[in-house]
Structure 1
Amino acid sequence: MTPEPAAARTDAWVWAVRLFPSRSAASAACKGGHVHVNGKRAKPAQALRIGDRVEATTPGGVRIVVVKRLLSKRVGAVVAVECYEDHSPPPPPKEERLAMPRRERGTGRPTKRERRQLDHFRNQG
């Protein structure tokens, strides 16, 4: 068995423990300010150490984890869960999630007036 490294790249670690679906998505999230290490924005190549607190805004919601083990390569889901302590808040109940309004089936294309109303509605939120 190979010894654990002293530090790991932030983008590689969040990808390896399956917080992001791809390494490029993890790197883009770091560059975009969606990954914080110990309360500060993380660059993709920032060194991550055991005990660091990682807050990541993922497609599934906000994830808050504490590093227990360093990885540089992607591992299976069972092993990945053992590499961090999850402190993420529970997801909101289904009733609280916003649903995208849909047009009734068979009503055809929206008129110009209806499109403007939809655009106004979407831009308010």
Structure 2
Amino acid sequence: MSDKEDDKVRLDKWLWAARFYKTRALAKAAIEGGKVHCRGERCKPSKEPKIGEELTVRCGFDERTVVVRALSAVRRGAPEAQGLYEETAESIERREQAAAMRKAGALGLDTDGRPSKKQRRQLHDFRERHDW
């Protein structure tokens, strides 16, 4: 997977090739937004990841801690992309626990659905009284 030309690859391109993000633009925006950390620090899209380096990548609700195993600037199939990194055991456990909690509804509000017409009127009156 790692050729002479792939020895130096930008972080945004590597994240795209490893299939963390659908486009390089999304990968670059995530890096600039502080969703990708290298050794606990924010990094730039032009950073060159090294083999053995640990990255923390947040995609949606999930946060993954991965170790770079290979470098590639070419986006290939998912099985090949998964060979570019290895997710740590702690990261897998955290993600599974968070997914189970989301599935159980522990992170969200438990409601009975949409408010009725009467409840909407009461909310409207409450907001007007309190100037919100």
TM-score, with length taken from structure 2: 0.73
State how 1:59-98 maps to structure 2 within 5 Å.
59-87=60-88, 88-90=91-93, 91=96, 92=98, 93=100, 94-95=103-104, 97-98=106-107
Aligned mate of 1:110, from 95, 120, 123: 120
Counterparts of 2:38 and 2:52, CA distance in 1: 10
Counterparts of 1:116 and 1:24, CA distance in 2: 44
Query: 1:33/1:68 Cα in 2 relative to 1: closer, same or farther (>3 Å)?
Result: same
Counterparts of 1:115 and 1:39, CA distance in 2: 48
- Greater Cα radius of gyration, structure 1 or 2: 2
What's the counterpart of residue 3 of structure 1? 3
The alignment-based identity, stated in percent, is: 31
Confirm or deny: 8 A CA contact 1:8 1:49 kept in the other structure: no
Alignment gaps of 5+ in structure 1? 118-125
Alignment gaps of 5+ in structure 2? 128-132
CA RMSD, aligned part only? Answer: 2.8
Counterparts of 2:57 and 2:125, CA distance in 1: 35
- CA displacement at 1:15 relative to structure 2: 1.4
TM-score, with length taken from structure 1: 0.76
| Greater share of residues in helix | 2
| Greater share of residues in strand | 1
- CA displacement at 1:78 relative to structure 2: 0.7
Counterparts of 1:38 and 1:26, CA distance in 2: 18
Number of matched pairs? 117
